[in-house]
Chains A and B, each alone.
Chain A
């Protein structure tokens, strides 16, 4: 065993000396290889983290939401329809909700105005999300003015800001009282944006949704599981889009790496010939090249993964941020929670380390079984 280890160490020594002879080329390869691993790992780590966080947070969103549709568009729900829902069997609670969008020309951003069903601020006062607080530079005690639906200027005193750690769900929220909401948007009493319904028996959610659709044919019930599925597929899709964008770079690298690993330069061919001539066995030459592939790909994986982990979980995924932001003025400043999928990391490890190592063996084996004299002469 000791002998075997010593032999491998000599092979590694020799491999490193051989790599050092082509320092520029090999360092370049290592840098590009690590950059590819970094990009792929960043996308995978970020998407998995946000997907898990979305699933955890939205598990507490309303069980069923009922929207009224008119000519295929979301419309206000009359109080009579809300009463109808209360009478359905299996329904536990019915909460009519008021919320809507407001475009703020000052910040050129969209806000979500919402009336909390519990602990709503008193009339004339609002609570704002951390995104708005940062964009408008508003804090408790400040006054924010917005233009109402009829053009009149509405001044609200900021009663407080929502916790900045909740930015992922609340960056653009403005919490107002019901009276202010109705006056501001011109929503008549007895009309609501939508209705949140909770169901007595969780297994009956679909049945209750069918009953709702039958009782209010112009409505559209949205189930919590559909909300969760939306976010699951959103991150699958986005991850896929990012990977497609990276596919070009990855493919170019694969071709480059394959060419580098599977095709031997004249210099390398001569080196193998000399090694064979001085008494190296074919298996030793193959082992040496295997060490070369393994060390290079392992170093690239470790460097790329470590950089990706720090980038996503310690530096807020700055490289991916522009893709996520789009044209949104308000974007939550949040640091992803480090949910890491071990299987995903292991798959990335297998896909980055093994193909390259294996690709190095075939041409070496081909060169190593040829007569040394012939190899050196060619």
Chain B
């Protein structure tokens, strides 16, 4: 087999995988739709406001409900010391 044939076959297989991943993503979203609907229903029923991503502090658990001065909320020199605090953007007006 010529090296070029092998190279093109491998590139073709890789490209086919990327295309297949697009189809897989579409099917995956379709498969996840009932679960997403159930989750959305739970959000509506319980009136949830936030994703349960960072449970380490109250202001990181409910980001959208946190005080406006989160970083200094316990006392004026109380800098944020939770790692996820660095993953949360500061307010635009800060």
Q: Which residues of A are interface residues toward B (Cβ below 8 A)?
A: 9-10, 12-13, 16-17, 50, 53-54, 56-62, 65, 67, 72-74, 95, 97, 101, 109-110, 112, 114, 116-119, 129, 131, 162-163, 165-173, 175, 194, 196, 222, 226-227, 230-231, 233-234, 236-238, 241, 295, 298-299, 302-303, 305-306, 309, 313, 323-324, 326-332, 337-340, 342, 345
Contacts and interface: CB of A to CB of B under 8 A. Distances in A.
Interface in B22-79: 22, 24-25, 28-29, 32, 35-36, 38-58, 60-65, 67-69, 73
Given A337-B32, A338-B29, A302 B18 contact: yes
8 contacts: A58-B49, A65-B49, A166-B42, A168-B52, A196-B47, A222-B49, A227-B49, A295-B7
Nearest to B53: A324
Contacts of B67: 72-74
A74 B73 CA distance: 11
A277 to B, nearest CB: 24
Interface of B is mostly: helix
A331 B2 contact: no
Given A9-B2, A166-B39, A196-B47, 13 more contacts: A17-B3, A57-B51, A110-B56, A116-B45, A116-B46, A170-B46, A233-B89, A303-B14, A306-B14, A313-B24, A330-B55, A337-B28, A342-B22
Given A101-B58, A117-B47, A170-B52, A165 B64 contact: no
B3 A302 contact: no
A222 B62 CA distance: 12
Interface of B: 2-5, 7-8, 10-11, 14-15, 17-18, 21-22, 24-25, 28-29, 32, 35-36, 38-58, 60-65, 67-69, 73, 82-84, 86-89
A298 B11 contact: yes
